[in-house]
Each structure stands twice: as structure tokens, then as C-alpha cells.
Structure 1
Amino acid sequence: MADTYTATLDAGDTQETVELELIAGEPQKSIIRTANVDGAEVDEVWELDMDAPDYTYRRGGYPERDYS
């Protein structure tokens, strides 16, 4: 069984906790999740905030196109 850790996805106005797998004993530097943007499902990147306490991830953007 892989080792896991609890991470917080902090979107500013909302927070969600998820269980993630450690990679070689370290937290993942980024993760990709599916998000609904303007009615379309897109990949959304979340990046580990090295300055935040514990394991906090913040939105890093959308690799397919710029939705900002």
C-alpha cells in the first residue's frame, strides 16, 4: 500500500481536502484535476505552495488554453 497524505486545495474562496500519494516519500509538486470552465471539462493544474503550512495547493492554471 502506498503512503498518502492529506492535502488542501485552496481556491481562495473555497477549500477542499484530498488524499494524495507520496512520490518517493515526498509530496507531489503539482496535480491535475478536471474542472468545468464555461460548460467544458478541462484539466486544471494545482501547484504545491512551498510557503504554506502543511500541504496546501493553489490553482496554477489550465494547460490547454488560457481561461483567465
Structure 2
Amino acid sequence: MPKHVVPEGAWFKSSYSQDNGTNCVEVADLASTGQVAVRDSKDKAGPALLFPTESFAAFVAAVRGGRFGG
């Protein structure tokens, strides 16, 4: 995804990221495209992964439901 597609202000740190800065994920809701972008907050210039909004919502629901053990 080209960097200019997601404005820097659209990114927010996931509430599941750790406060110590070691495991930080940022998310951008791209509602106009039906997608959610995810990136490593320590590598803002690096790649972003794109997921369909419905798939990302299902993943978050599964995490909240404890389906991944952590």
C-alpha cells in the first residue's frame, strides 16, 4: 500500500499493544475502502497489511473472546 493512501493521522495504537513499546500495532480504519490497515508502530515507513473490515472485526472479536490463549 503506498504510504500516501493512509494519512498519518488515521493511525492509532491498538489497545492490545503493550505499554513498554515492544509489541505495538497501529490500526487505521479505511471505511471508504471497506478495509482496515495494520502496521508495526516501530516501523512507520514499513509495510502495512490490509484486511477486509469484516475479517478484521471477526479477528478482534476472537481475541476479545480469548480464543487465542494469551
Question: What TM-score, normalized by structure 2, do the two folds share?
Answer: 0.36
Higher relative contact order (CA 8 A, sep 6+): 1
Question: What TM-score, normalized by structure 1, do the two folds share?
Answer: 0.36
Q: Which has the higher strand share?
A: 1
Q: Which has the higher helix share?
A: 2
